[in-house]
Structure 1
Amino acid sequence: MNKINCRIGIDLGGTKIESIVIDYDGNEIYRKRIPNPKNDYNATLNSIKDLVHQSESETGLYGTIGIGIPGIISKQTNLVKNANSTVLIGKSLDKDLELILGRPVRLANDANCLALSEYIDGSGEQYNSLFGVILGTGVGGGLVIDGKIFPGANLISGEWGHNPLPWPDLNELPGPECYCGLSGCIETFLSGSGLENTYYKISGETVSANVISEKIQNNDQDAIKAIELYENRLARGLAIVVNILDPEIIVLAGGVSNISRLYSNVKNIWNKYIISTDEDVVTPIVQAKHGDSSGVRGAAWLWPEL
């Protein structure tokens, strides 16, 4: 039997699959990213297998395997559900991977992986509780308390993106349709496409969230209006997180989290919606230290023991 001497993390994203190898102390040794073969489950399995084998052959190491997925494993069926990568839904992903890799595999929601990574050696390493937020293709959340992912009784802890946008204005009702089957979910407003839709309604122009970010830096007035509305919605959404969970720190990741003005402006808004309105809310909102790497690093850390 091969001796375990590293941790391998896999981040199964919507457009890419990324692997990382970290040593005992969390230092990165190897990384590779490949396109995700969309809508082909068997090709996805083989891509993960190839990444693991390449990681080990190029480093000469043999590792534990943790995988972050855009969904969760059903507690009743042990099959993937609630995944925005629909090819995974209804599949026994962990068991299928264990069969082709010949060793145990640990799976977790990608937002939980983000939260775990930032808790261990990221922006939240000095705190006891951390709520990690993904603002990207979707809107996810993960909760870590005292170094452990808190999955909840139904394994859906942190899924704040599929609650309705709180304190909505009349023009925000009933809200855009969400892939989950409901309308007005936080995700439909605060994802990258949510920001794009907001900008389109203001300007009549269809552009990407990255272009909107550039326009904000150039003081484009339509982009400023769009981000101000986005900040207000983000403040309302995160206020609910604070009111219910009251984490010691909130860490943001994902493409939209790179808009730097969010961090000060949201905190200037959210006091209005948080029950502790007679005092400033002390919870910091910060950007993920490891950025886009937080998810794949957290997947590797699903095996804290070696």
Structure 2
Amino acid sequence: MCCFDIGGSYIRYGVPCADGDVVEQGRVSTPTASWKALVAALRNACDETDAQIASLSLAGAFPPDGGSADVANIPCLNGRDVQGDLARAMGCKVLVTNDADCFALAEAHLGAAKNQPIVFGAIIGSGVGGGVVINGELLRGFGGISGEWGHGPVLDATLGGLLPDTEPLACGCGQNGCIDAVCSARGMEKLHLQLNNDALTSLEITRRWKAGDAQATRTIDVYTRYLAQSLSVIVNTLGPHIIPVGGGLSSEPTLIEMIDRQLREMVLADFASPVVVPGHLSANGGLVGAGIVAAQHLHHKESAT
């Protein structure tokens, strides 16, 4: 089998090792606008690795029984039956899984959530996503959607009256007040601009917060409270034992510790150890998760015969 992590800029690919890890064997630029070029790139990697199964991790929503997929960052895939169309074009078995689901699966098997019964993997970076793993298996919801906590107008923009002059933040999905619009890196930047009338990058805001800057501290206080509130609903509803974090936020353990402390004050369960933790496989979760998806597919196929 060949595993792929397909992003808007690069396609990374590799073959699973005996321990479940996947070592990158190559990468090529993603031909986002050309279906034929994308198929050729995937087929070449499968030929190179002598693979009969292609397991793909990429951002998007993929109906489990086929149908139109939502793949915003790769236009040539958007609206297609990605799994079916690729299988027919490549002449091999193709498995397609959301990248946040792959991250959650990788963390549940080999990362920070290893051996935990219920895992919610949270991606917090340029966007916000998530995946649910129960007893080592992905929870695949209706329409292929589960764990997508980034969208839906669920946030109180005034933060319980603490921010009475705050306007709802617009999200790329067309709604206002989505977690993705507030808790992504761009969301942090929008909050800082709104609170302080100062345009800074999320990296600079975080740097200034660590240095004790008052404006950055206010932004981080609001940002982490939004995140903790949002995650507390997931904890009380789903009951995950742990929430590994991937994306850009995974490189900021101090920020994650702050979110975890706030969350544990909000939830009903009494956790004796951290719930929100940095993921161990943020950089390679897509490839590793795609490998686990393929391995589980083969196992289920063998069990059914």
TM-score (norm 2): 0.85
- 1:24 alignment partner, one of 12, 18, 21: 18
Structure 2 counterpart of 1:162: 151
Q: Does 1:48 align with 2:65?
A: no
Structure 2 counterpart of 1:4: none
Structure 2 counterpart of 1:297: 288
Q: Within 5 Å, give how 1:221-260 maps onto structure 2.
A: 221-260=214-253
The alignment yields a C-alpha RMSD, in angstroms, of 2.5
Q: Does 1:106 align with 2:100?
A: no
Q: CA deviation at 1:128?
A: 1.1
- Structure 1: runs of 5 or more not aligned: 1-6
| Distance 1:298-1:207 versus aligned 2 partners, 3 A rule | same
Structure 1 counterpart of 2:303: none
Q: CA deviation at 1:228?
A: 2.0
Structure 1's consecutive aligned runs of 4 or more residues displaced over 6 angstroms after TM superposition are none
- 2:86 alignment partner, one of 80, 97, 120: 97
| Distance 1:64-1:265 versus aligned 2 partners, 3 A rule | same
- Structure 2: runs of 5 or more not aligned: 300-305
Identity fraction in percent? 26
Is this contact kept in 1: 2:66–2:84, CA < 8 A? no
Structure 1 counterpart of 2:57: 68
SS in 2 for 1:106: strand
CA distance, structure 2, for counterparts of residue 34 and residue 209 of structure 1: 29
SS in 1 for 2:53: strand
SS in 2 for 1:184: coil
TM-score (norm 1): 0.85
SS in 1 for 2:15: strand
SS in 2 for 1:302: helix
| Distance 1:215-1:109 versus aligned 2 partners, 3 A rule | same
| Distance 1:120-1:272 versus aligned 2 partners, 3 A rule | closer
Q: CA deviation at 1:109?
A: 1.0
Q: CA deviation at 1:34?
A: 3.2
Letter of the 1:183 partner, please give it: N
Aligned length: 292
Structure 2 counterpart of 1:187: 180
CA distance, structure 1, for counterparts of residue 41 and residue 207 of structure 2: 34
Q: CA deviation at 1:237?
A: 0.8
Q: Does 1:115 align with 2:104?
A: yes
SS in 1 for 2:253: coil
User: What do the CA deviations read for 1:152-204 (whole angstroms, capped 9, x no partner)?
Assistant: 23321111111334454254865222222211101101111111212223444
Structure 2 counterpart of 1:136: 125
Q: CA deviation at 1:103?
A: 1.0
SS in 2 for 1:78: coil
